[in-house]
Amino acid sequence: MIVPITTGNFDDCVLAYLKAYNCPPWNYHWTHEKANEYLLEYMSCKQFVGFALYEENTVVAAVFAHGKTWWTDKQLMIDEFFVSREKQRMGYGQQMLAHCDKYASANQISSVVLMTSKYMPSYKFYDKSGYTTAEQYVFMFKQLQG
């Protein structure tokens, strides 16, 4: 069952986030407090759109996204997309992407945009799901000395 993310199920999503990223291949070290803060920043966005997929009263996958105006059309920008580690490769990711597509179509949104690492399994997943690499864009960051 896929439902909108609300304050009522937000913590369930945080727990699923920890299960997805604090293990291989990501091996991050998120604390509950930091993951809560991080995802809450997305949820507080004016154009927030979020979905949680439940299996037996447990969130096993979620999408945190937002609507975005672009010069050509409206876009759905996926900020975070995750499936609990023990539930990966079971079709939940495909269900979530299909749900995003349906939401976009129903809301006159003509494209879904996301960012992922070219060196992680998620890249192949999105590629197989019909997403294309936008070679003209580069993700850049600057590490500051602390």
Write the pLDDT tens digit of every residue in 129-140.
777 888 777 777
CA distances from 77 to 27, 34, 82 (A): 25, 22, 14
Q: Could you tell me the pTM of the whole model?
A: 0.88
Domain ranges (residues) in the chain: 2-128
* Percent of the chain residues topping a pLDDT of 70: 100
Rounded to 10 deg, the angle between the 10-21 and 32-43 helix axes is 120
Q: Which CATH class is domain 2-128?
A: alpha beta
Q: Where are the alpha helices (DSSP H) in 50-119?
A: 92-106
Check residues 2 and 116 and name the one with the higher pLDDT: 2
How far apart are alpha carbons 107 and 1 in whole angstroms?
A: 20
- Find tokens 């299996």 and name the residue: 55
